[in-house]
Structures are given as structure tokens and as C-alpha cells.
Structure 1
Amino acid sequence: MKVTEIEVHEVMLEYQDFLAYQLNHYYGPAKRVVYVVHTDTGLEGLGESGRAEPSEVVEEYIGTNPFDWVGDEMSLGLGTAMYDLMGKSVGVPVYKLFGQRYRAWVPVGSWTVSTDPVRMAETVAEYASRGYTWMKYHLSPFENVIHQTEEMETVAPEGFKIHYDLTMGGTDDHIPELLEKLSKYRIAGCFEDPLPGEDIEGYVELRQRTTLPIVLHHFPMGATYEVLRRPADVYMLGHAKIG
């Protein structure tokens, strides 16, 4: 099996109405790239990523066998398409190429970005009505997170939790004091990236001081040495190539 052609499609998707205002102001229009990889056997592989790879990267895959890209370190989107082809060629789900299945389902949370407290509360109410029990959002120094939390708590049903993403500097507040204040609200769930990723000592101390889970997403050594220091309760691996 050889790759013969790769289609690159840039797609623009509209935000749902209840999210359009804040996401258009925060990110602008949503653009994704979809790859359709054709082979000489007739199988097609699909991959998706945030931006298109340069043409010279795409050309690297032409004429190769998808299995040449096990542990692909060149492109997340094209690497995903290669794994799609690997699974299809042997007639098994892709996870079987990695090992045993650990779970049959995964929980799914909701997501938004920082905006005024009233819109934050409206978003919580909408997500809760759709059955979600968690909502993550990126904090901003232009909005008061305490005011947001108080407004969201007025509409959040029992058990609904907020995943605060501080983006290693999304607020100018003193972090230990801020997390202590937020932890007192019933909807507070966890805190992601409250400090710069390289401040492992700070994370170790902060984890000892806060009562809610600390989530570490951006770390300089790829969750290796950092994990041994136990700076967080949860480690998020993402935005990385497959290998």
C-alpha cells in the first residue's frame, strides 16, 4: 500500500449562537484543516489539524507506506491520517495498534473563553441544559474571575464544576491567594497551568497549599522529570505530534 495523493481542505466553521460573541472576540473565525489521503489500494485516510502543513512536508508522505509513519514526529494531522490507514488496512480500530483497551468510553467536558459575568452564566446554563457537568475556560486579566464565578454559581446545577485555565499568566492576581478564594465556591473544580511551566518548585508548593486538583498542561520536559516531582494531580498531553 502506497500513498498516491493527499487532498488538503481548509474549512471554516461557524460557532454556535450562544458562543459566537466571546469566541469571535477571543479567537476570531474557527479554521481547521482536513487531510484526505488516497492510496493505490483505494483506501482513504482522514486526518485533521489546526493549520496546513507546508507543501514540502505533504510531499514527504507521497509514495510511502502508511506503516512507515508509526510514531510519526513530522505532522499531527497527516500522522493521524496514516494511522487511520493502518487500522483500515488490517481491519482493526487504531487503538489495537497501541495495546490493550483501557476504557470503552471517555467523559466529555464543555469549553468557552473568558467574557463578562452575565455571558459566562448564560453559557453555564446552556451547557448544563445539554447534560454537561464540567466547563473549562481561559481566564483573562480583563475580567474579574471572582465576579464571573459568583455569577456562574447562581445558575449552575448541583455537581456542575468549572475547570479554570490560567494559561500561565491569564490573570495578574497573586496565585496562591486567588486559588484559595476560588476553592471556596461549590462550582470550583480544578486549576490548569496556574504558574509558568518551568516553575516546577512553585507547582510542588502550590499543590501542597490548594485543596483542589492542579492540572499541568505545558511543561518543558514533556511530563518526564516533572512527573517525578509530583507538581500536579493531572497531566494533559496535547498539541504534540504522535511520536
Structure 2
Amino acid sequence: MKIVKVESFLIDIPWKEEVRKYMAWAAQGSRTWLYKVHTDDGIVGLCENPRDARGLASQLIGRNPFDFILDDSVWPLQEALYDIMAQALKVPIYKVLGHKYRNKVPVCYWSHHFPPEVLAKEAIKAAEEGFTVHKFKARPHYDPVEQVKAISEAVPEMAIIPDANGSLWLPSKAISFARKVERYNIFCLESPIPQSDVEGYLTIKAKVDVPIAIHMGDPDPIISLATDMVDYYVLEVPGVWSTFRYAAAAEVAGGTMTASGAEGKGYTVGGRPVWLEGFGRTAIAEAFQVHLAAVIKMSTLPSPFFLHRLREHTLAEDPLMVREGQVEVPEKPGLGITLDERALKKYLVS
């Protein structure tokens, strides 16, 4: 089996009307790329990513997809190659990636730094769609305490992740914020101050009861793990092998935890729990991330894969569904979902 062609489609799926005005502030635009990787025996692998990866196509032509197992140099096309491998073996992608630790992957709803009244409406919609955790971007544009309050009053049972991306700046401000919102159902506080401030995080952790999360990688994982500066880690790194490396680091950190495994079997491990964050914008990328999260032992926290919920279309005929805050890991060969070709044509830019 050899790769014979790589097709690239630049698409633009608009944000839904109710959030379009506010998503204009977002770093990620509405455009993304859909890639189809073809083999000489008729298998087509799919991946989606905002990165322009057309320059990687020449590295794939004439090669066997299995040559690229754990090879992050061809990311994001790497995801399409795993789709091909799994289809060729007639198995779901997770079986090519590793041991499946869970049949269902926890996920959370995601919002940008919307005003409180918009976040309240988003929380109601999230609950109706099966989510139990709501992550939002906390920024100086709006009072983050009021944002948390709006979500909580709209859906009291909704757990909340305020993600400041370091914008609270000072440990004192982060501590003050945490104490003001701890009365609500706070899942954790993500990156309250710049992640390089190790001493600041140790101060926050010592003075508040709210769990703290940061993206692994800043500071160096050796420092963050050795100092035990946070409770949770976010894994947002390009490539399967890089994700596995960071996940392995999280597994040897901290204390112990007990989680539910596949077929209901529990397992106890040392380490810090993580959630994954992907780079894609549609249900195509989301499906791959669900397979990846299923094989990472420490990925027991809700991951915000479902950014396509804010767009007019998922780009799939059969997108994965959220029930009670979880998504079932697909069992069909490959990604386990089907590209909506009519939607691809409708939103095609070039």
C-alpha cells in the first residue's frame, strides 16, 4: 500500500450567528484546512487542521502510511495516515494508537470571552446538548466573577473552568478571584497567572482550595512536575508522539488516582490527571482526538474538543454525540465518522 495523492481543501465555516460578533476577537479564525490522503488501493484518510500542510504532501507520496507511526514530522497529516492504517486493518483508530483505557471520553463545552449574558445562554445550550462542564476564556474585557455567576445561575449543576491564560497576572489577584468564585461549582482554574511564575503558582495552590491547571510545556515539565505546582495538566501539543511523551510525564507526577477503565474495570495509577486540547475546528479533527484521549491513561478530565458546536456545520454526516458529559469512542474502522461531502463543497474557499 502506497500513498498516491494528497488533496487539500481550504474551507470557511462561519460561526453561529449568536456568537459571531464575539468570535471576531478570537485568535482562531473561521477558516481551516481539510485534507484527503489517497492510497493506491482506494483508501482515503481524513484530517482537518487550520495549519497549511500542503508542503508536507511530497514527503508522503510513494510511501506506506505505516512508515509514519509516531512520526510527528508529518503532523497534522499524521492524523489522516492513522485513519488509513486503521481502515486498512479494519479497526478503529484507537487500536492502532494503543491500549484503550476507557469506552467513553469526558468532554466539556467551550466558549470564548463572551459577556455574562451570552455565557448564560451558552451554558443552557451546553446543558441541552449533554455537557456537564463549561470552559470559558476569562479576560479583562468582562468581570470573570460575573461570568462565573452567569453560568452558575443559568445552569447550577454545570461545572465551570475559567481559563485566564495568565491574564490575572498576579498571585494576589488569582487568589482573590478564586475565593470569590469558590462558592460556585468550579471544576478548576486554568492558567490564572503566567505559567513561568512557579513561585506564584505555589503561593496560589497553598492558599486556595480550587484545583489549578496549566498547559504542560511552560515551564519545562521537569520544573513543573518536580515542584508539584499544579493539580492538573492540559496537553496541547502537535503530534501523537509528543502527546504520548507529555502524558507519560504526567503519569509519574504527584500522588495516586483511581479511574474507571474500559469494560468498567478500574485502575489506580500515580500521577496528575490531564485533558487534551486539539487544533482542529470540525468533527473530523474531534473524532481523532477522542480516539487519542481513549488510549492515554491519565486523560480522565473533560477535554474541549467540540469547538465545531460554535459553527454552522460540523463537516460530518454523523458527528459524535455528547451524553452526560461523555462521548463514546467510535468502533467503526478508521475515524468512525463520515465526511459530509455536500458541506465540504458548500464551505469550500479553494
Q: Please, what TM-score do these two structures have when normalized by structure 1?
A: 0.88
- Name the SS of the counterpart of 1:10 in structure 2: strand
**What's the offset of the Cα at 1:170?**
5.9
Q: Residues 168 and 174 of structure 2 are in contact (CA less than 8 Å); yes or no, is this contact kept in structure 1?
A: no
Amino acid at match of 1:62: I
- Name the SS of the counterpart of 1:45 in structure 2: strand
Structure 1 residues 49, 227: closer, same or farther in 2, change over 3 A? same
1:60 corresponding residue in structure 2: 59
**What's the offset of the Cα at 1:194?**
1.4
**1:121 and 2:124 aligned:** no
CA RMSD of aligned residues (A): 2.2
1:11 corresponding residue in structure 2: 11
- Pairing partner for 1:232 from 230, 233, 245: 230
**1:135 and 2:138 aligned:** no
Q: Residues 108 and 131 of structure 2 are in contact (CA less than 8 Å); yes or no, is this contact kept in structure 1?
A: yes
Q: Residues 163 and 191 of structure 2 are in contact (CA less than 8 Å); yes or no, is this contact kept in structure 1?
A: yes
- Taking the TM superposition and a 5 Å limit, the aligned residue runs for 1:81-230 are 81-157=80-156, 159-169=157-167, 174-184=173-183, 186-220=184-218, 223-230=221-228
CA distance in 1 between counterparts of 2:226 and 2:70 reads 24
**What's the offset of the Cα at 1:164?**
0.7
**What's the offset of the Cα at 1:171?**
6.5
What CA deviation, in whole Å up to 9, does each residue of 1:39-94 have, x standing for no partner?
11111111111221252x22111111111111122243201011111112222222
What CA deviation, in whole Å up to 9, does each residue of 1:17-58 have, x standing for no partner?
333232234357412211100111111111111221252x22
Q: Which runs of 5+ in 1 are unaligned?
A: none
Structure 1 residues 123, 196: closer, same or farther in 2, change over 3 A? same
1:70 corresponding residue in structure 2: 69
**What's the offset of the Cα at 1:182?**
1.9
Q: Residues 2 and 63 of structure 2 are in contact (CA less than 8 Å); yes or no, is this contact kept in structure 1?
A: yes
- Name the SS of the counterpart of 1:211 in structure 2: coil
Amino acid at match of 1:175: A
Q: Which runs of 5+ in 2 are unaligned?
A: 242-350
**What's the offset of the Cα at 1:141?**
1.2
- Rg comparison, structure with higher value: 1
Q: Residues 12 and 31 of structure 1 are in contact (CA less than 8 Å); yes or no, is this contact kept in structure 2?
A: yes
Structure 1 residues 104, 179: closer, same or farther in 2, change over 3 A? same
- Name the SS of the counterpart of 1:215 in structure 2: strand
Structure 1 residues 213, 153: closer, same or farther in 2, change over 3 A? same
2:336 corresponding residue in structure 1: none
- Name the SS of the counterpart of 1:154 in structure 2: helix
Structure 1 residues 101, 71: closer, same or farther in 2, change over 3 A? same
CA distance in 2 between counterparts of 1:77 and 1:84 reads 12
1:38 corresponding residue in structure 2: 38
Structure 1 residues 42, 28: closer, same or farther in 2, change over 3 A? closer
- Name the SS of the counterpart of 1:26 in structure 2: coil
CA distance in 1 between counterparts of 2:93 and 2:152 reads 41
Amino acid at match of 2:112: V
Question: Runs ≥4 in structure 1, deviation > 4 angstroms?
Answer: 170-173
Structure 1 residues 28, 94: closer, same or farther in 2, change over 3 A? closer
- Name the SS of the counterpart of 1:101 in structure 2: coil
What CA deviation, in whole Å up to 9, does each residue of 1:102-128 have, x standing for no partner?
000112211111122222222222222
Aligned residue pair count: 240
Amino acid at match of 2:114: T
- Name the SS of the counterpart of 2:48 in structure 1: strand
Amino acid at match of 2:152: E
**What's the offset of the Cα at 1:166?**
0.8
Q: Residues 156 and 187 of structure 1 are in contact (CA less than 8 Å); yes or no, is this contact kept in structure 2?
A: no
